[in-house]
Structure 1
Amino acid sequence: MTDKSSALLRTLPAPRLLGRWMSLAMVVGTMIGSGVYLLPTTLAPFGPNMLVAFAVTIGGTMCLALALALLAARIPGGPFAYVEQAFGETTAFVTLWSYAVSQWTGVAAIAIAVAGALSYIVPALGHGVGLITVALISIAALLAINLRGVRSAGGLQVTATLIKIVPLLAVVLLVTGRFATATPVEPLAAVPLTLTGIATAGALMLFSLTGFEAAAIVATVTDDSETNVPMATLVGTTLTGAIYLTATVATLMLLPNARALTSAAPFADAIAPILGQAAGAVVAAIAAVSAFGTANALLMLAAEVTRTLARADDLPRLFRRTNARSAPSGALIVSALIAALLVLASSSDSFVPVYIFITLVSTVSALVLYLVCAAAALKLGVGGRWTALMIVAVAYAVVMFIGAGWEPTLWGFGLAAAGLPIRWLSRRFNRATSRRSR
């Protein structure tokens, strides 16, 4: 374990560490968020490409998850420790900085998705001032919860995870009922099967599947991390992938394609004609809770990552500050402010296109972590008999960059590179401050 990781663990008494079920809830709760509730909308134009993309994306994500699980079982301390040991401090910084960017953009996108879900009940919340207000209130509430400590955030994660699964199971049961009674279902969009369609659909799916790394990111605040982190990573990814596939396809079988293309709450729109508007409103509310729970995890991850970087003097010391509950208060406040600024900067009357673009930028930023960690697993030789799957993980990450498109990829790389001057300035300032304090 690195000195930085050991120091962080010593600051947290055992009762405040995440346990086995909280670690698993971090994975499942982060993965099952706003992404799955909007997948029917974002994937509707791709028709049969979606089915192939699901197989590729779930398989590729499992390979990436395996790489992280193998690293977590061998090297305590989380991704910073993995990458630093394999490629050095600079690569570790760029990788973790890029991941922090993905969490900031993710919090912004999902806060917007909270408003999108609630717009099914109150249409004015789906655009303009209403959308921005709900998103900003969501971020403020999440900040307050996380400032109460890691156990508070973990408890919310368990509760939100249990609630958010209900609508996903509901659409599957409704489609099963249609098959049992020979009732026709809606066809998928009639579009040709192409490599471009598969790659783009896969990149959109990956945003919904990001989060499998959550247990590894918070390994330094997890009890018995060498056992609990690999278990949570592999079990959580497998369970979530299966739920995503069945729930998304079931929703598109219930919802006409023309409606699915523009829906801000596709699960609610699919259920309401069958069970009534009241049921649709309940599903929309659950979708909002689901998104809120995911944003909670992303804010927590952003704070842990930036605190780790600050401990290495790569970010201002503000990010190191903790409160009486051992919560990284400085990192949490800055992360929440950045997410709020992104919400204001991305405000638009067109909810779906803005959401898609932000999610692709967030995906590209997270892909940097996935690619480098998979490469680290290869270099450090932790794969053993699974080495071939580590190679698949690297290749899959590269393909997903291509699928995301050139504009989100350039944004992602540009934001990653922007961290280098911030690191240089932080190191100079921190060293100067240390000399003056002697």
Structure 2
Amino acid sequence: MTSTAQKLSLVSLSALVVGSMVGAGIFSLPRTFGAATGPFGAIIAWCVAGGGMYALARVFQALAERKPDLDAGVYAYAKAGFGNYPGFLSAFGYWIGSCIGNVSYWVLIKSTLGAFFPVFGDGNTVVAIAVASVGIWLFHFMILRGIQQAAGVNTIVTIAKIVPIVVFILILIFTFKLAQFQENFWGGTGMPETSLVEQVRATMLVTVFVFLGIEGASVYSRYAQRRSDVGRATILGFAGVMGLMVLVTLLPFASLPRAEIAGMRQPSMASVLEAVVGPWGSVFVSLGLLVSVLGAYLAWQLICAEVLFTAAKTDDMPRVFARENANRVPVAALWLTNIIVQLFVISTYWSQDAFALMINLTSSMSLIPYLLVAAFGVLIARRGESYEVRPEERRRDLLVAGIATAYTLFMIIAGGLKFVLLSAILYAPGTILYIWARRERGEKLFTPVELVIFVAAVAGCIFGIYGLASGSIVI
């Protein structure tokens, strides 16, 4: 795309960031936090998550400005910093994690409808899977008509879906009960006997999930009207969404007992508003959720296809995924993305808690690419690479990138071994695409270090499959 008319403005890029982040996760926050902790623990969790993700957002901003030649940020930064195979794993992990995240959207949509139409159950009945399948392919063919059209729809949807969330926040502010908030502050009646550290740890993967999409502008940097808009859009989107998520988490504690919030059906935001204002509150939030999740799904479909397409253009995925149709849409990448989403949607039929599983697995898959981006930020700051301009920023950027690296490592550890092994089950066989691409170009498969990484992924895959087969890992 070369014409200005086909480029994305700061508003459109910011909408991609907000549209990517404000999706299924924000509507599930009251129950998720209510089941784990009270307001005090929630405040600590958001300080950790907000601080870590802000540092990561600043890394994306700095890299967008200092490495303008690297497009599709998450994948490109990993390859530039650590080599071909780590770069491939970043692209593949980010892509497959995003596909799984898209599945969580369909599960939540059907679970929401299940509150009014029992045939949808908790989002994983046969009817729910069939309806979700129709939706997958309707979106697929809409996107095939053009990226620019789909991005325009996303901007409109992003504005529309913020309204119910803001209304929810305003109603809970006006009905704020200080005594109820104080009663819940340390957990209130029936609080599980767990340490504060464990309470915070129980919320960590969901905080990662609700921040996924913070890199949306970076992924679409090649479409930006001005390169500087990429960093601005990232910070603007982060700040706005952070405020919304903290309020959605904390305000319900001033309306209802923590134990009651913990027992609510997902989407718990709808259940909270119903308890406060009556049945119309549930309907209102549920409609907002449907708009929100469909908008987020659209944004992530665009991002998934873009990551595969860019990896193929830089010779790190098979050439077939670099194909575009007449509307400049990466058609082969989009087809594979939706085939994978379809398969995961079908698999939810056998899951005990499909929504929670998809959230946690998406977060786990995305943390490896985020870690590599943060580490790349540390790498170029330590080397002084690209700091000929504004060299005084080098020390600050090194500190911020170090915080982002420590945060992503902490998140991987906090998520637990279970999700590391489940991630390996996907990473190891995904290497087939890497081998295909390397052989297609007659290039050496692995360096010695890359071979060690591959062996570790295969070992994790074997242990993960054994865990599933033995029942020690339950999905």
* TM-score for both structures, normalised by structure 2: 0.82
- Aligned partner of 1:268 among 267, 270, 280: 270
Following TM superposition, by how much is the alpha carbon of 1:331 offset from its aligned partner in structure 2, in angstroms?
Answer: 0.8
Please tell me the residue identity of whatever aligns with 1:251.
Answer: P
**Which stretch of the first structure deviates more once superposed, 419-428 or 28-37?**
419-428
In the other structure, the counterpart of 1:282 is: 284
- Aligned partner of 1:338 among 337, 340, 344: 340
Cα offsets for 1:72-131 (capped at 9, x unmatched): 111122323323332222221111111111111111111211212222332322341232
Cα offsets for 1:194-248 (capped at 9, x unmatched): 3232123122211011110111111122221x21110011111111111100012
In the other structure, the counterpart of 1:3 is: none
- Aligned partner of 2:427 among 416, 419, 424: 416
* C-alpha contact 1:196 1:403 (8 A) present in aligned 2: no
**Which stretch of the first structure deviates more once superposed, 121-130 or 233-242?**
121-130
In the other structure, the counterpart of 1:83 is: 78
Please tell me the residue identity of whatever aligns with 1:175.
Answer: L
- Aligned partner of 1:387 among 388, 391, 398: 398
Equivalent residue of 2:202, what SS?
helix
In the other structure, the counterpart of 1:251 is: 252
In the other structure, the counterpart of 1:377 is: 377
Equivalent residue of 2:203, what SS?
helix
**Change over 3 Å in CA distance of 1:199–1:349 after alignment to 2:** closer
- Rounded to whole Å, the distance in 2 between the matches of 1:245 and 1:259 is 16
Following TM superposition, by how much is the alpha carbon of 1:376 offset from its aligned partner in structure 2, in angstroms?
Answer: 0.4
In the other structure, the counterpart of 2:109 is: 114
* C-alpha contact 2:84 2:316 (8 A) present in aligned 1: no
The answer to whether 1:101 aligns with 2:96 is yes
**Which stretch of the first structure deviates more once superposed, 166-175 or 298-307?**
166-175
Cα offsets for 1:331-375 (capped at 9, x unmatched): 11110110110010122575xx32112111111111111110111
* C-alpha contact 2:108 2:267 (8 A) present in aligned 1: no
Equivalent residue of 1:18, what SS?
coil
The answer to whether 1:26 aligns with 2:28 is no
- Rounded to whole Å, the distance in 2 between the matches of 1:317 and 1:364 is 28
* C-alpha contact 2:100 2:358 (8 A) present in aligned 1: yes
**Change over 3 Å in CA distance of 1:349–1:414 after alignment to 2:** closer
The answer to whether 1:70 aligns with 2:62 is yes
Please tell me the residue identity of whatever aligns with 2:327.
Answer: R
Q: How many correspondences in the alignment?
A: 418
- Rounded to whole Å, the distance in 1 between the matches of 2:143 and 2:201 is 36
Following TM superposition, by how much is the alpha carbon of 1:13 offset from its aligned partner in structure 2, in angstroms?
Answer: 3.4
In the other structure, the counterpart of 2:331 is: 329
Equivalent residue of 1:346, what SS?
helix
- Aligned partner of 2:155 among 150, 154, 158: 158
Please tell me the residue identity of whatever aligns with 1:246.
Answer: L
Please tell me the residue identity of whatever aligns with 1:409.
Answer: V
- Rounded to whole Å, the distance in 2 between the matches of 1:255 and 1:168 is 18
Percent identity of equivalent pairs: 25
In the other structure, the counterpart of 1:362 is: 362
* C-alpha contact 1:138 1:292 (8 A) present in aligned 2: no
Following TM superposition, by how much is the alpha carbon of 1:164 offset from its aligned partner in structure 2, in angstroms?
Answer: 1.8
Following TM superposition, by how much is the alpha carbon of 1:430 offset from its aligned partner in structure 2, in angstroms?
Answer: 5.7
Q: Which runs of 5+ in 1 are unaligned?
A: 1-10, 433-438
In the other structure, the counterpart of 2:293 is: 291
Q: Which runs of 5+ in 2 are unaligned?
A: 382-386, 388-392, 444-475
